[in-house]
Amino acid sequence: MENEYLLQIKGLSKSFSGVKVLKSVEISVKPGTIHALMGENGAGKSTLMKCLFGIYKQDEGEFYLNGEKFNFTDPKHALEHGVSMVHQELNQVLQRTVIDNIWLGRYPTKGLFVDEKKMYDDTIELFQRIKIDIDPTKNLADLSVSQRQMVEIVKAISYDAKVIVLDEPTSSLTQAEVKKLFEIMLTLKKQGIGLIYISHKMEEIFEISDYVSILRDGDYIGTNPTSELTMDMIIQMMVGRDLKNRFPHKEHDIGETVLEVKNLTTTYEPKVMNVSFDLKKGEIFGLSGLVGSRRTELLEAIFGARTRETGELILNGKPIKNLNTVQAIANGFALITEERRETGIYPVSDITFNATIANIKSYREIFGLLSKKRMQADTETQIKAMSIKLNSQKDLIRTLSGGNQQKVIIGRWILLNPDILLMDEPTRGIDVGAKFEIYQLMLDLVSQGKSIIMVSSEMPELIGITDRIGVMSNGRLAGIVDTKTTTQEELFKMTTMYL
């Protein structure tokens, strides 16, 4: 059939420093379909997309768009020919309006001046096309993550996109926001657009996709209609082995209370209000809630990264202040932040630096010089313990996949030997195999007597790994439940208590 496929990738290979990261990949996307692309972190998904968008030049292989052979020279070239991408980490100008972000770099003009009316009218027309309701004159900084994501989708459509790549689009969204995103995707599908959907969330793949293509260690494993696959089949294809359980077996002792949080209220908006709970030795305490429920703000207040208006922190029976992060670290706390790119990594520094920066003072020797040898030795220990995939410690951390970046960050804090780990969405954007490894690491830590407070937007994850769950609703603690006896329905009901 002529032009049966919108996009075809044939025999694509790519190597870096002699290491082959893509090997003869074959993917074909039909018009009006949602085509999932899956694989563990480091499987080659990001490299494949960078080749598609002209950021990298493939060593072998061809791209075909509507049956015609092509190679994009850069992302702008791809956009102008109807291929767009909505990145997991949104790159937007937050202090400019929605309209500015959509048309930046290609403002319509009327004579010598920007045609503001045409820009506004065209934006409204695009919004109507996919049924979204956002004020186009608002600054992006005033929008939620899901609304900003919708703006990126509108921007993609504004280029008359025929193929749109969505990279982990639901990683920061609530269930209601995911539902809205899926409605938009189905609308685009009906309009004949081909969507490449990159995700690690199995339930979503089965809900929204028509086809699934799987990569493993750079190899193309295969493409199948979603209807012919099961979750176990996908996992086995991704990891190359059976992974019968999504969560490790929990078997650890829970001791006495180590931390009491009493009547904690933060100083500035958005406020955490009058939150009280305790954390026991050897416990994983989950924090559930919708985006905007202020789970992150609560962790930051405990860690001294956000000021408290009122409230006490009592550690092992003694009051502590944690007025700043230095005090918190000295008191045995560690914080793994939600936003790796913004607050977790030093992107232009190497992996060794990123793995050891939290404990940098311990590597000082005579005249204050740093011992590179000890830094590299500790980094190598964490690489082995966390199964981090990399070429060299000297590589910039931004060259690693998201999941491997997260492992470096977790390893960084483990070097400090903290007693209480605050983990904000620790498995966000991480594949099922790497998730299992992080869950096992968390269980190993609590088995050693450490305690963990874990924020997660994934209810199955909270139920699978925690001992108790506190539910946040609009800055307040709606209640605390025993993980063994709770349900997703009970958790969701509690999230709406103070809305």
| Domain residue ranges in the chain | 7-95+154-239, 257-332+418-495
CATH topology agreement for domains 7-95+154-239 and 257-332+418-495 = yes
Tell me the average confidence (pLDDT) per consecutive run of 10 residues in the chain, 499 residues long. Answer: 81 84 93 91 83 91 91 88 81 89 89 90 89 89 84 86 87 76 90 91 90 91 94 82 71 94 94 97 94 90 96 97 95 88 81 90 86 92 84 88 82 91 86 80 93 90 95 95 91 83
Predicted local distance difference test score (pLDDT) of residue 172:
66
Q: Which pLDDT value is given to residue 243?
A: 54
Geometric angle at alpha carbon 154, from 207 and 31, rounded to 5°: 55
pLDDT for position 244 = 58
pLDDT at site 7:
94
Query: Global pTM?
Result: 0.64
Q: Which fold has domain 7-95+154-239?
A: Rossmann fold (3.40.50)
**CATH class of segment(s) 257-332+418-495:** alpha beta
pLDDT confidence of residue 1? 43
What is the structure's pLDDT at 252? Answer: 86
